[in-house]
Amino acid sequence: MLYSKGMEFKKIAICYNPKIQNSVEVKNELRSILAQHCIDASVIDIDTLTNGYDFVYVIGGDGTILKAARFFAKHNAAIFGINLGRLGFLSQSSKEYLKKSVEKILNGRFHIEERIMLQSFDAIALNDFVIKGNTQGRTAKLSLKIGGNPLCDYLADGIIISTPTGSTAYGLSAGGPVLSPNLDAFVIVPICPHTLTARPLVVPDKEIITVSMGDSENGFVVSVDGQNFFEYKSDIVIKKSEFTAKLALLDDSDFYSILRDKLHWGVSPANI
């Protein structure tokens, strides 16, 4: 049983991605560490997720954590990421620091941070929705409305609409700003726009964002966190989800140290 600042977690699981190297080894090591503390954790595969847990250790890369976050957000479970991928921006631990990180959690030295999510139709995203035209290799005319009010038309390869959590992902690569995850806002970033006046835009998370294809009949391709893809012919309406991702964060970590350590923020390329 885990406790942190008045929160009690009775049902604990280990979620791992068997397709990632060393995941089985880390899963077994984690289960052994928990067993030493009389915690019998269930083991689940990222491709066969089940609910009924309060706290879930997620072993894998950012893609694994994103998939777990979308699922467990709907079941009010907290997740703790253990990185076995490359960047691991959403994770709090690694294989090398597994025992130390778990001991901090078992001693209650963690907190739960709720991250806002996006929703369009039945899909929810922790990072972003990416909207592109359905004609491969061509730019698209994308019309943007905020709160029902027309704002602009983009001639671009696409549009990224991201949460603060997702602002360090695709949106950052496309020239968007980094937002603190505690901000109640969304970022709209055009991808390779064909005009110098098209710039990223930050809007309050209460706004409803609508994207339409203009005169094209080809429709959209929409990606959810870069993992799920859908085709639509109608307008895309994106808003704040009723669900939030609950990330377990160690008390001695903070967003700005993660920027420095994992994105090498402000570090000269010669020193990386």
Q: Report yes or no on 165 lying in a domain.
A: yes
Same domain, 103 and 128: no
Pairwise pLDDT comparison (95 vs 200), residue with the higher score: 200
At 31-46, the pLDDT tens digits run 999 999 999 999 999 9
Percent of the chain with pLDDT over 90: 69
Residue 245 bridge partners (DSSP): 115
Exposed / middle / buried, residue 187 (Cβ in 10 Å: 0-12, 13-18, 19+): buried
At 119-177, the pLDDT tens digits run 998 999 999 999 998 776 678 889 999 999 999 998 899 999 999 999 999 999 999 99
Catalytic annotation on 184?
A: no
Instruction: Answer yes or no: is pLDDT of 269 > 60.
Output: no
Query: The domain that contains 185 carries what CATH number?
Result: 2.60.200.30
Q: Report yes or no on 248 lying in a domain.
A: no
Return d(Cα 206, Cα 208) in angstroms, integer. Answer: 7
Same domain, 135 and 237: yes
Q: Report yes or no on 252 lying in a domain.
A: no
CA 77 to chain centre: 15
Query: The domain that contains 7 carries what CATH number?
Result: 3.40.50.10330
Same domain, 189 and 130: yes
pLDDT at 219: 82
Number of folded domains in the chain? 2
Return d(Cα 202, Cα 187) in angstroms, integer. Answer: 5
Same domain, 236 and 190: yes
Annotated catalytic residue, options 54, 62, 128, 157: 62
pLDDT at 137: 64
pTM of the predicted model over 0.75: yes
Q: Report yes or no on 265 lying in a domain.
A: no
Q: Report yes or no on 114 lying in a domain.
A: no
Domain carrying residue 57: 2-108
At 60-94, the pLDDT tens digits run 999 999 999 999 999 999 999 999 867 667 888 88
Pairwise pLDDT comparison (97 vs 260), residue with the higher score: 97
Same domain, 64 and 35: yes
Instruction: Answer yes or no: is pLDDT of 267 > 70.
Output: no
Nearest to 127 by CA among 69, 204, 209, 199: 69
